[in-house]
Structure 1
Amino acid sequence: MSRHAHTAQRVAYRAKLLGFAGDPERSAAATHFEEDGLLIVEDGHVVANGSYAALAAQLTPTTELRDLRGKLIVPGFIDTHLHYPQTDMIASPAPGLLPWLERYTFPTERRFIEGAYARETADFFLDELLACGTTTALVYCTVHKQSADAFFAASEARNLRMIAGKVLMDRNCPEFLRDTAQSGYDDSAELIERWHGRGRQLYALTPRFAPTSTPAQLEACGTLAKAHPDVFIQTHVAENVDEVKWVAQLYPGHRSYLDVYDRYGLLRPRAVYGHCIHFDDEDRTRMAQTGAVASHCPTSNLFLGSGLFDVAKASEQGMAVALGTDVGGGTSFSMLRTMNEAHKVARLAGHHLSATRMFWLATAGAAQALGLADTIGTLAPQAEADFVVLDPQATPLVARRTERAESLEEWLFALALLGDDRTVFETYSAGHCVHRRDAKRRH
């Protein structure tokens, strides 16, 4: 049993509540906000949420009531793209994506052949995510099977809802990080059997990106994907101009970089593609048709100079979009800071990304895109009780700005643009507090 196993005790939280019934860009009624709300949790799940006045009668004599008035409860943040082995190389200087991989990424990932090192890094990584209010993430491990085992074990110990996978990489990488089409298939099949659906753990087939997989490996990955339709798929696509040119050389005869994955049956629901910057309209249409998801990683794209994701065009063509930090290419674990950069990237393309839509993209929108809308990303009854308590008094500047807000949008915008890990007061997973800002960190 997890050392964070929840109890059956009923606990109620009185605070401001924010949730969503759809995309705020498409309907003003999609945003649900309670100024004086009550969230009731029992046995790791939400029992009820709504106004305090309407639900106060459900506070039985045995219900523990936590008074968090003035603070905001939102569903736990969902990060749809990041690499736990790159924790120790975050903020490493390089002139671009491909040199950055050679100089920092591959040497760093070499150490994950050591199970103890992988577990220590996974523990630190998860502590960072929880400190930033992220309760679910799609996580890349390394090519080593033990790196995935270490990550899942660390997640299971905290009873988190995590999605992860061993990287598949059988060419164009150092020999010490290379598997084969067959060994990658075998290792992935074994890990799916061991971890997918075990407690709150879910598996993702993880070819790093087309240049580091042979056609045989992508074909094997497609075979596994067909055999396991509920398993996730995660990889990179169209991040960097030089990368796109490289793929065209390695995979001649394909219409586009995305088409490579399509040919091997890797475009489908629960398939999450990091970056998706250098797309044309046909690529976006194909993503929408297949139910594949674009993970927009603004801090990484700016840091590596990869380009600007066009969120407006993605929305116009019905392509599912969520947010990702892309640590260690990304420069922060914080989804609030990721919202900040996403807004600026959208502005450069002439689009205004509202605060309510940014919070939706990081919670209910991501859950919907991943096929987990009834499970996470929501405060609805029966959902898993993963939520974050945000503090608008976290810093003098955030407090001063939020106190002057004249609308919910303005108030949330200040949190998104000025917030970071300091804004996260508490983080809950399955109803259990897994991070408290003022408590001593284990690392």
Structure 2
Amino acid sequence: MIKVYRGELLHFLADPAKVALQESYQHIEDGLLIIKDGLVEQVGEASELLPLLDDGIEVIHYENGLMMPGFIDTHVHYPQTEMIASYGEQLLEWLQNYTFPFERQFSDLEHGKKIAEFFLTQLLDAGTTTALVFGTVHKESVEAFFTIAQQKKLRMICGKVLMDQNCPDYLSDTAQTGYEDSKALIEKWHKTDRLQYAITPRFAPTCSTEQLNKAGQLLAENPSVYLHTHISENTNEIAWVSELFPDSKGYLDVYDQSNLLGRRSVFAHGVHLHDHECKRLGETESSIAFCPSSNLFLGSGLFNLKQAQKYDVNVGYGTDIGAGTTFSMLSTLNEGYKTQQLRAEKLSPFQSFYLATLGGARALDLEGTIGNFTKGAEADFIFLDYHATPLMDRRMHHCKDLSEKLFTLSMLGDERHVKATHIMGERVQTAIAVTT
């Protein structure tokens, strides 16, 4: 089945930090996106491709906005949806006072389904089409999430939390039960339709060495799954890790000793990494999820993007709901820019949108599958409206080039500016009337 969309089009071909800017993206003022059976067939100038279409093929025309690949969220907690905007704590206190009590509810499969439905709808409304997602310690939380994601035909990655120490009894598993539950979930869900599994130790303080080693065993036995955890988010957390693991050379080394680094390993935050840790992440092709909204909200610190780039570490954006305060990737780009300003560094709008699309795909080892409009990629894409609000409309009239348009979208944009989201070429929102 052929579907065709026309409009201004942007996608990235490479990292703007590594190649000449003009070589890093393709921008077409009047472009055509041709989709066959849910996959990208071709992109190009409308004037060149329209005459080649068979008679009778409908062309859906998006005007006064920008078509681009769907956003990719490389770190988010779906069970924390209802506790977003909980007041006044830093990381460790926030976990005890808010997170753990909320996560207790996810032993109930039906509760998990209800929250997963709302969570995924929020993501799609915000233009996010793929996410790497934390469940809870309960198998049911992952069953619920994957059930709803499968119904929506989404490419999603999720995993059961592993946590056997320094946590409430009602959220504790053991090294062996965590291994067994994760193995069963991998066998049932990994690579089922568009779903993939992530082995998910919460973070080093809540995992014994035995449990981290069992996670490493799972990863060795299932090399196509992901490893998803936290690292170096908060200075008190880092000090705690040093006390709990005195034989380690640092926070990252705790994971490294259990063989948890690799091409599909994603470490959230990394706000306070040492150079030697970034070097090791780069060597192992591991990834960092940059979560500016959460880092600011919890007072954790300012991520050093330049450091990660220096050591060739894969980086994608994460909203980190519920410490993050928005599902909107556009709003997250806003926060990301400001964190780098506070570091006296510049974050260009091209780099921001790269990190939210192709950069996220690379961080998740999914380049060629999602993240841009290369031939054969899954056609998950969005349409951003330049005139969704009076302020955006007025500011856009003064934009002289694409860079200004992108920066304006990232500073003033939010869910209101995502006027259509498409999954495998099919629109899943009805917020905009289209012309043909």
Range into which the TM-score falls when normalised by the shorter chain:
over 0.9
> How big is each residue's C-alpha offset from its partner over 1:379-418, in whole Å with a ceiling of 9 and x where there is no partner?
1121101001110011011111112111110111000111
Report the TM-score, using the length of structure 1 for normalisation: 0.96
In 2, Cα distance between equivalents of 1:12 and 1:195 = 32
> For residues 73-222 of structure 1, what are the structure 2 equivalents within 5 Å?
73-222=67-216
Q: Is the 8 A contact 1:89 1:328 kept in 2?
A: yes
- Which residue of the other structure, out of 423, 426, 431, is the alignment partner of 2:425? 431
Alignment match, 1:293: 287
Alignment match of 1:333 (pick from 327, 352, 371)? 327
Identify the range of structure 1 (426-435 vs 328-337) with the bigger mean alpha-carbon deviation: 426-435
Query: Which of the numbers 206, 218, 222 marks the counterpart of 1:224?
Result: 218
| Aligned position for 2:50 | 56
Q: Counterpart of 2:85 in 1: which secondary structure?
A: coil
Q: Secondary structure at the match of 2:178?
A: helix
Contact 1:36–1:69 (CA<8 Å) still a contact in 2? no
Deviation for aligned residue 1:376: 0.2
Amino acid at match of 1:201: L
- Which residue is equivalent to 2:413? 419
**1:353 maps onto 2:347 in alignment:** yes
User: CA shift at 1:111, angstroms?
Assistant: 0.4
Asked if structure 2 preserves the Cα contact closer than 8 Å seen for 1:261 and 1:267, the reply is yes
Is 1:322 the counterpart of 2:316 in the alignment? yes
2:4 aligned with 1:12, yes or no? yes
RMSD: 1.0
Other-structure match for 1:407: 401
1:256 equivalent in alignment to 2:250? yes
How far 1:255 sits from its partner (Å)?
1.0
Shift of 1:313: 1.4
Shift of the alpha carbon at 1:431? 1.2
Aligned residues: 431
Unmatched runs of 5 consecutive residues or more in structure 2:
none
Q: Which amino acid aligns with 2:3?
A: V
Q: Does 1:24 align with 2:16?
A: yes
Between stretches 226-235 and 427-436, larger displacement belongs to: 427-436
In the alignment, which residue of structure 2 is the partner of 1:4? Answer: none
Query: Does the CA contact (< 8 Å) of 1:131 and 1:437 recur in 2?
Result: no
Are the aligned partners of 1:422 and 1:437 in contact in 2 as well (CA < 8 Å)? no
Amino acid at match of 1:395: T
Structure 2 CA distance, aligned partners of 1:71 and 1:240? 39
Give the counterpart letter for 1:35 in structure 2: E
* Alpha-carbon separation, structure 2, partners of 1:201 and 1:272: 17
Letter of the 1:12 counterpart:
V
Q: Is the 8 A contact 1:11 1:63 kept in 2?
A: yes
Q: Residues 105-129 of structure 1, C-alpha deviation per residue, up to 9 Å, x if partnerless? A: 0000000011111100000000000
Corresponding residue for 2:36?
42
Amino acid at match of 1:281: D
Query: Alpha-carbon deviations, 1:207-246, whole Å to 9, x = none?
Result: 0000001111000000000111110110000000000011
Provide structure 1 residue ranges, at least 5 long, that are not aligned to the other structure: 1-7
Query: Percent identical across equivalent pairs?
Result: 48
Q: Partners of 2:377 and 2:352 in 1: how far apart?
A: 21
1:438: how far off? Answer: 5.3
- 1:38 match: secondary structure: strand
Distance 1:104 1:60 in 2: 57
Counterpart CA distance in 2 for 1:208 and 1:193 is 21
1:279-302 Cα shifts (integer Å, max 9, x gaps): 111011000000000100000000
For residue 366 of structure 1, report the CA deviation from its aligned partner.
1.2
1:57 Cα deviation from its structure 2 partner:
2.1
CA drift of 1:349 comes to 0.9
8 Å CA contact 2:288–2:363 kept in 1: the answer is no
Are the equivalent residues in 2 in contact too, given 1:158–1:434 (CA < 8 A)? Answer: no
Task: Quote how far apart the aligned CAs of 1:369 are.
Answer: 2.2
Confirm or deny: 8 A CA contact 2:134 2:158 kept in the other structure.
yes
What SS does the corresponding residue of 1:49 show, helix, strand or coil? strand
Residue identity in the other structure for 1:131? D
Q: What one-letter code is carried by the residue in structure 2 that aligns with 1:319?
A: V
Report the residue type matching 1:323 in the other structure.
Answer: Y
**Correspondence for 1:3:** none
Residue of structure 1 equivalent to 2:336: 342
Q: 1:241 aligns with which of 235, 241, 245?
A: 235
Deviation at 1:334, TM superposition (A): 0.5
Structure 1 CA distance for aligned equivalents of residues 191 and 167 of structure 2: 31
Per-residue deviation, 1:69: 2.4
| Conserved 8 A contact 2:200-2:228 | yes
Q: Hey, what's the Cα distance between the residues in 2 that align with 1:45 and 1:313?
A: 36
CA distance in 2: counterparts of 1:213 and 1:273, whole angstroms: 15
